[in-house]
Structure 1
Amino acid sequence: MPKIVHGLAAALPLANVDTDVIMPKRFLITITCEGLAEGTFADLRFHDDDTPRTDFVLNTRPWHGARILVVGDNFGCGSSREHAVWGLVQLGIQGIIGTSFAGIFYDNARKNGLALPIVSPEVRDQLMQAASHEDGVSYTIDIENRIIRTGETELPFDMDDATQTAHLEGREDTLNSLEFADANRNYERGLDDQQRVRVIQ
């Protein structure tokens, strides 16, 4: 998982972008998490005949290679599909800056190394305006110090301690739980049959 995210930023000022917009359900037929980049924002990126929409930011220069998105409120709402995060990462998105994210989307992003700095509406609007400049602008998301840098400007962001640790140490929930595997087994060995039944119940 990246400790520093650096790259060209693109503005996506839509509020309440749900996971069906990020990854339409027709792309959920794969049995693996691979090959989802094409489906990411598909209805925003492409016409019905699969030709690119020239009015969508990631189809236009210089933002076609953006690594960071600055987004509207409540990004990632809707269903819990992890495919939305998989597709964003496969598309090359490494960080998304916003004022709020849906809880399950936020958790899925943490598990997959997608950084989601949370900023105030005023900071978001400042970053979005700068990202919309025709020459493009790059941002650096410093996860360790919880700072977004652009030029000489440093802007703080919020990230809970568990998410920050996951990014800095390259950890996720399953690996965290495995740390306690031996302790759990030792505890279970010390239980008598009646106690085991109560634990299972």
Structure 2
Amino acid sequence: MEAFTVVESVLIPLDRANVDTDAIIPKQFLKTIERQGLGRHLFHDWRYENDGTPKADFVLNRPPYSGGKILLARENFGCGSSREHAPWALADFGIRAVVAPSFADIFANNCVQNGILTVTLSADEVEHLFQAVQSRPGYGLRIDLAQGEIQGSDGWRAHFEVAPGTRHKLLHGLDDIGITLQHKEAIARYEAQRREQFPWLFRG
């Protein structure tokens, strides 16, 4: 997956709390196991009319937000079922980071596995960002993962904490399989030793 170092983008304001995974990607789009193509269905029921026409007042359908990479939301983002299609849809749309006061744990972990950074800020800091976007349409944000710092286009700054393991995965573009493959030579040596010590386990 793509490494996350520094991401700069217009900030997409989604002023809603308790956004669940069914809202992020509705159940009718869960039939595929392909990660590509789900971005067009991101927030489908909020984004489109029943006939498929884009809703003009939904944020992702309005420039400059339609090309944004950083999403801003309220508390408990990603609650509901643990479907991994939710971060797949976000990533396929182009979202690299979500900023909110809190996240559902399983959703946040799934985001890491798909190269998306979840940034937890205080409710006051999130409110500041919503106010900034409202007063300055097109307000930009810069996220530096290595430094754990956010900077707004008006000079506002905030720091955020990320678990060391999460930081390592994102900075190097590694999911759990990638982490395991970093040790493939040691694994191969162990397997060869096991075959030598216990050959009867590997017969047939």
Deviations along 1:64-100, one digit per CA (max 9) or x if unpaired, are 2222111111111111211111111111212110111
Q: 2:166 & 2:46 partners in 1: Cα distance? A: 29
Deviation for aligned residue 1:37: 1.1
Tell me how large the CA RMSD over aligned residues is: 2.2
Corresponding residue to 2:107 among 105, 118, 139: 105
2:163 pairs with 1:160: yes
Whether the aligned pair in 2 keeps the contact of 1:36 and 1:90 (CA below 8 Å) is: yes
For the 8 Å contact 1:7–1:68, the answer to whether it is kept is: yes
Q: Structure 1: how far apart are the matches of 2:109 and 2:87?
A: 10
**Residue of structure 2 aligned with 1:40, choices 21, 42, 65:** 42
Distance 1:89 1:133 in 2: 28
- 1:185–1:135 Cα change, 3 Å: closer
Aligned equivalent of 2:183, options 157, 180, 185: 180
The one-character-per-residue Cα deviations of 1:154-186 (angstroms, maximum 9, x if unpaired) are 211121111111121222211212333444454
Alignment partner for residue 28 of structure 1, among 22, 26, 30? 30
Matched, 1:120 2:122: yes
Shift of the 177–20 alpha-carbon distance from structure 1 to 2, 3 Å rule, reads same
Give a deviation string over 1:116-170, Cα, whole Å, max 9, x none.
Answer: 1111111111112212335320100110101001132221112111111112122
Runs of 4+, deviation exceeding 3 Å: 179-193
**Closer, same or farther: CA 57–133 of 1 in aligned 2, 3 Å:** farther
Aligned residue pairs, count = 197
Q: Matches of residues 1-16 of structure 1 in structure 2 within 5 Å?
A: 1-16=3-18
Task: Look up the match of 1:199.
Answer: none
Consecutive unaligned residues of structure 1, counting only runs of 5 or more, are: 197-201
Alignment of 1:62-101 (within 5 A): 62-101=64-103
Give the whole-Å Cα distance in 1 for the aligned partners of 2:190 and 2:66.
54
The AA in structure 2 aligned to 1:64 is S
Are the equivalent residues in 2 in contact too, given 1:10–1:132 (CA < 8 A)? no
The answer to whether the 8 Å contact 2:11/2:71 transfers is: yes
Note the C-alpha offset of 1:187: 4.5
- Looking at structure 2, the residues matched to 64 and 178 of structure 1 have their Cα atoms a distance apart, in angstroms, of 36
Q: Give the 3 Å change call, closer, same or farther, for CA 60–188 of structure 1 in structure 2.
A: closer
Could you report, residue by residue, the CA deviation over 1:28-81 in whole angstroms, capped at 9, with x for unpaired residues? 222411111111100010111111222211122332222211111111111121
In the superposition, the TM-score normalised over structure 1's length comes to: 0.88
